[in-house]
Amino acid sequence: MQGVELLYDFHIHTCLSPCGNEEMTPQMIVDCAVAKELDCIAITDHNICGNCAAAIEYAKDQGLIVLPGMELQTSEDIHVVCLFDDLENSLSFEKYVRSTMPPMKNNAEVFGNQTCILPDGSTYEEEQMLLVGSGIPLYGLYPLVQSYGGLAIPAHIDRESFSVGSVLGMLDTYMGFPLVEVWKDPTLADNVSVPYIQSSDAHNIDAFFDREYHSITAEEKSVKAVFDALKNMGT
């Protein structure tokens, strides 16, 4: 395909994830992505999209594409990166996800703060415990996310926790995912008959910088073209 090669990282946590370092503000992540000469990133906190708007807004003048997203935890405790090309769609999906989550409050002293930063710079602590399985099962997830205009990608399939393989033992084709994500070891993806992307799953700045990044071919450098390129990888 004719087009442009774009360096990406489609799995980054902010300070809104309880396990995300507090230095991971949307602004800091955008600054670091620009410093690393990335072209496109996604903000993917656990079960929530609250810090996407601030990152998108801050990145606007810096030539960086930011896809809104989240790392959904399914009812089986499997992590799936859900990406969108539209903030409103991601927030609609978040609303649904939230309606399926057990109403547990975060214990910040044990699990960490969940700091939401709005585009105007104001902040608040998210009370719902985010690091918890939603009520949404893996089977049927791909078309569900698609119905919100998004793309569901099983996360870090080479990890020994919260991955499809570690919970169910394998990724089979009838789960319906046309694209998967690898964290570090692409050889594991060789056993899977679908293409893969490789992202950092960074929870702190060091993990973000200490990384070799990969590129995706898109028609142009725009949110829509990047999202379409991801969709097309799996078809």
Residue ranges that bind Zn ion, judged by CB under 5 A: 71, 79, 155, 162, 201
Q: Which is nearer to Zn ion, 64 or 79 (CB)?
A: 79
Q: Which is nearer to Zn ion, 25 or 200 (CB)?
A: 200
Q: Sort 216 into a burial class: Cβ within 10 Å, 0-12 / 13-18 / 19+.
A: buried
Q: Which is nearer to Zn ion, 43 or 225 (CB)?
A: 43
Q: Which residue has the closest beta carbon to Zn ion?
A: 79
Strands 40-46 and 65-73: parallel
Quickly tell me which residue has 């799996």 as its tokens.
234
- For residue 200, what are the contacts with CB-CB under 8 A and spacing of at least 6? 9, 11, 12, 183, 207, 208, 211, 213
Nearest distance in Å: CB 154, Zn ion: 10
Sign of CA dihedral 173, 175, 176, 180: negative
Nearest distance in Å: CB 80, Zn ion: 9
Alpha carbon 146 to chain centroid, angstroms: 15
Q: Which is nearer to Zn ion, 4 or 167 (CB)?
A: 167
Nearest distance in Å: CB 162, Zn ion: 5
Nearest distance in Å: CB 70, Zn ion: 10
